C-alpha cells in the first residue's frame, strides 16, 4: 500500500484479503487444535434469528439438524496475532483442505496481542492485516497533510492439501507442519520488489530482560517468557495502536534472553511485557537497525510500577481476565464447541449472565475469603433491570481488613484493565455515596471486546493514590463503580488489581 506525498487526506480502517469457498464442499473449519467443527452454511444463518447484533444468529432450522439451537457468530473465532498463523477449511467428502498461513506478523498492525478475525461461515477465510476490531475506530491508517506512506502487506501463503484418511485431523496436522516450514523460510527470497528486503538486508538484536522489584526479591529476576518487540518509536505501550509501521516480536527464554531476527532497516522502540508482572517496558534509547547489523544490548532492567508492598491482590497480571469467573451461557444460546472449553468467554450473551447471577445486589469480594477464580466476574458490565429492561450502572465492592493504618502515609491502588468499552470506572474509598470519587478514569475505550467475545481488548493501567486518612483499622471497602449505564456492552475487563502499603513504612 502506498500514499504518495501530496496526495489527499485518507483514512483506511481495514485491510484484508477474503477468500470465499464453495459452501457445498467446505463445511469443516479449523482455527486451532481445540477449535474445530462442522459449521453452518450462509443460508442457515439467513434463516436463523438475529440476536443482539447482526453477526450473532441463533440457528433455528439449519440444513444440518445437529446444529439447531446453536449460536453462530464470526467473532467467536477471533484470535490474537501471536497465536494464529494458520486457519482454514476442510472438505470431509473430498478430503481436501484450504489454509491461510501467515508466516510472519511483521506487517500486521497492533502487535502480538491484537485480536483479529480468522475463518467463519461463508465459508470464508481471512488474511487480516489490520482492522479496528477489538481496538476501536481510531485504530487504522490516518494520513493527513500530504503525508507520504508505504507499507508491504504480506506475502501470506495459501496452502491446499489433500489426504486419503478422511480424517480432518490429518489435514490439520499437515497444515500446521507446512506453517512451520513457511515461518522458517521468512523472509521469503522470491519477492523482487525493492520494498521487501531479503534476509541479508535485515538485522538482528539480542539481549536479556530482567525485572527489578525489591518487594518480591532483592535480586534481579529473569523475565521468563516475556514478549519483547521492536515497533515504531512512540510512548510506552503505543505499539498497541500502531498501524503504519512494522513490528518484530519474540519471547524470552527461562533466563530472560531474547533474539529478534530478520528486522527491517529502520528506527524502533524496544518494548516488552512480562506475564506475571504489571505494566509495559520501553527501552530508553531508540534502536537503529541497518542491513546486516548485529546489535547486542546486554542486560535490560524493567522496574514495574510499584510504590509499596502488596497488601492484597486480585487476579494475575497477564493482560487478560482469563483467570476470573466466566459463566456458562444461557442453555438456549450456546455454541457447543465452547462448552467446557478453556476459553468460555467465546460464548454468546455472557454480559447478561451477570444479571442472572447478581439480580439485585452487585458483586462483593472479600479479601482473604473470596476466590477470584469463582467470585470475580470476568467483566464489569451493567445490570439489566427486569422492570424497565434497561441497563443500569453497577458498583462492585472489595472489602479488606487493615491493621496499623498509617494516617500520614499514602497507599496505592493499582488497576490494570484488559479491555474498556464506553466505560468509566469510579473509585471511592469507604463511602459509596461520596459525591466526588477518589479517582475516575473518565470515559475510556471503544474496543467492544465484551460483545465480540474477546479475551481482551486494549491494555491500560491506572495507579491511584489513597491517603491513609481515608482508611481505618479494621474493615475497609473500595467501591468500583462502572458509571456508564444504558447499554449491554458497556464495561471493562479487569486484568489485575493490587493494593499497596505506604513505601516509607516498609522499606
Per-residue confidence (pLDDT) for residue 506, from 0 to 100 = 39
Whether pLDDT at 25 is above 50:
yes
Confidence class for position 504, pLDDT limits 50, 70, 90: low
Over the stretch 364-403, which tens digit does the pLDDT of each residue have? Answer: 999 999 999 999 999 999 999 988 889 999 999 999 999 9
Distance, CA of 18 to CA of 466 (rounded, Å): 51
For residue 278, CA distances in Å to 319, 410, 415 come to 8, 20, 9
* Percentage with pLDDT > 90 across the chain: 98
- 459 closest CA partner among 300, 268, 281: 281
Per-residue pLDDT tens digits for 195-244: 999 999 999 999 999 999 999 999 999 999 999 999 999 999 999 999 99
Is the pLDDT at 290 greater than 50, yes or no?
yes
Cβ contact 423:482 at 8 Å: yes
Question: For residue 315, is it left (φ>0), alpha (ψ between -120 and 50) or beta?
Answer: left
Sign of CA dihedral 188, 194, 199, 204: negative
Q: What backbone phi and psi angles, to 5 degrees, belong to 311?
A: -90, -35
Give the three-class secondary structure for 214: coil
Q: Are strands 203-211 and 294-302 parallel, antiparallel or unpaired?
A: parallel
Q: The pTM is what?
A: 0.97
Q: To which residue does cell 459525591 refer?
A: 435
Short-list 253, 255, 262, 251, CA closest to 294 = 262
Can you give the pLDDT at residue 388? 85
Q: What is the pLDDT of residues 449-487, one digit of tens each?
A: 999 999 999 999 999 999 999 999 999 999 999 999 999
- In the prediction, which pLDDT does 387 show? 82
**Is the pLDDT at 86 greater than 80, yes or no?**
yes
Residue whose C-alpha cell is 506525498: 5
Q: Which residues contact 190 (CB under 8 A, 6 or more apart)?
A: none
By DSSP bridging, strand 141-143 and strand 28-32 are unpaired
Proportion of the chain above pLDDT 70, given as a percent: 99
Cell of 156: 501470506
E strands, 196-243, in order: 203-211, 221-222, 227-231
pLDDT of 312 above 90:
yes
Which domains are present in the chain? 2-185 (2.70.98.10), 199-302 (2.60.40.1120), 310-506 (2.60.120.260)
For residue 386, the model assigns a pLDDT of: 84
pLDDT at 302 over 80: yes
pLDDT of the residue at 389:
87
Amino acid at each position: 500500500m502506498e500514499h504518495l506525498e501530496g496526495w489527499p487526506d485518507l483514512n483506511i480502517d481495514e485491510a484484508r484479503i477474503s477468500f470465499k469457498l464453495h459452501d457445498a464442499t467446505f463445511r469443516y473449519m479449523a482455527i486451532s487444535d481445540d477449535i474445530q467443527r462442522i459449521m453452518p452454511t450462509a443460508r442457515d444463518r439467513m434463516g436463523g434469528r438475529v440476536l443482539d447484533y447482526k453477526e450473532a444468529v441463533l440457528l433455528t432450522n439449519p440444513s444440518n439438524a445437529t446444529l439447531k439451537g446453536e449460536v453462530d457468530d464470526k467473532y467467536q473465532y477471533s484470535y490474537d496475532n501471536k497465536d494464529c498463523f494458520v486457519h482454514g477449511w476442510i472438505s470431509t467428502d473430498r478430503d481436501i483442505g484450504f489454509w491461510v498461513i501467515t508466516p510472519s506478523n511483521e506487517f500486521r498492525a497492533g502487535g502480538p496481542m491484537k485480536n483479529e478475525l480468522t475463518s467463519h461461515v461463508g465459508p470464508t477465510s481471512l488474511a487480516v492485516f489490520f482492522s479496528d476490531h477489538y481496538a476501536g475506530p481510531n485504530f487504522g491508517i490516518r494520513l493527513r497533510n500530504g503525508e507520504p506512506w508505504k507499507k508491504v502487506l504480506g506475502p501470506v501463503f495459501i496452502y491446499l492439501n489433500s489426504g486419503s484418511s478422511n480424517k480432518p485431523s490429518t489435514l490439520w496436522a499437515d497444515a500446521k507442519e507446512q506453517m512451520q516450514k513457511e515461518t522458517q523460510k521468512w523472509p521469503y527470497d522470491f519477492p523482487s520488489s525493492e520494498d521487501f528486503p531479503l534476509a541479508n538486508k535485515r538485522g538482528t538484536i539480542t539481549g536479556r530482560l530482567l525485572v527489578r522489584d525489591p518487594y518480591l526479591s532483592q535480586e534481579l529476576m529473569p523475565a521468563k517468557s516475556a514478549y519483547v518487540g521492536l515497533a515504531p518509536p512512540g510512548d510506552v505501550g503505543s505499539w498497541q495502536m500502531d498501524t503504519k509501521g512494522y513490528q518484530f516480536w519474540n519471547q524470552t527464554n527461562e533466563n530472560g534472553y531474547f533474539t529478534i531476527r530478520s528486522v527491517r532497516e529502520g528506527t524502533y522502540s524496544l518494548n516488552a511485557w512480562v506475564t506475571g508482572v504489571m505494566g509495559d517496558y520501553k527501552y530508553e534509547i531508540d534502536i537503529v537497525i541497518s542491513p546486516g547489523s548485529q546489535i547486542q544490548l546486554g542486560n535490560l532492567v524493567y522496574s514495574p510500577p510499584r510504590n509499596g508492598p502488596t497488601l492484597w491482590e486480585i487476579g494475575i497480571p497477564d493482560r487478560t481476565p482469563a483467570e476470573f469467573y466466566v459463566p456458562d451461557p444461557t442453555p438456549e444460546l450456546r455454541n457447543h464447541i465452547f462448552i467446557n472449553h478453556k476459553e468460555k468467554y467465546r460464548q454468546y450473551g455472557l454480559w447478561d449472565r451477570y444479571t442472572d447471577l447478581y439480580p439485585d445486589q452487585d458483586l462483593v469480594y472479600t479479601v482473604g475469603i473470596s476466590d477470584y477464580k469463582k467470585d470475580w466476574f470476568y467483566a464489569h458490565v451493567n445490570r439489566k433491570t427486569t422492570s424497565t429492561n434497561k441497563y443500569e450502572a453497577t458498583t462492585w465492592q472489595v472489602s479488606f481488613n487493615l491493621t496499623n493504618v498509617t494516617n500520614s502515609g499514602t497507599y496505592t491502588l493499582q488497576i490494570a484493565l484488559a479491555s474498556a468499552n464506553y466505560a468509566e470506572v469510579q473509585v471511592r474509598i469507604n463511602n459509596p455515596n461520596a459525591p466526588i470519587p477518589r479517582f475516575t478514569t473518565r470515559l475510556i475505550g471503544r474496543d467492544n471486546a465484551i460483545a465480540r467475545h474477546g479475551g481482551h481488548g486494549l491494555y491500560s493501567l491506572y495507579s491511584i493514590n489513597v491517603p491513609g486518612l481515608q482508611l481505618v483499622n479494621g474493615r475497609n471497602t473500595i467501591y468500583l463503580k462502572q458509571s456508564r449505564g444504558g447499554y449491554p456492552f458497556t464495561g471493562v475487563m479487569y486484568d489485575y488489581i493490587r493494593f499497596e502499603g505506604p513505601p516509607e513504612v516498609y522499606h
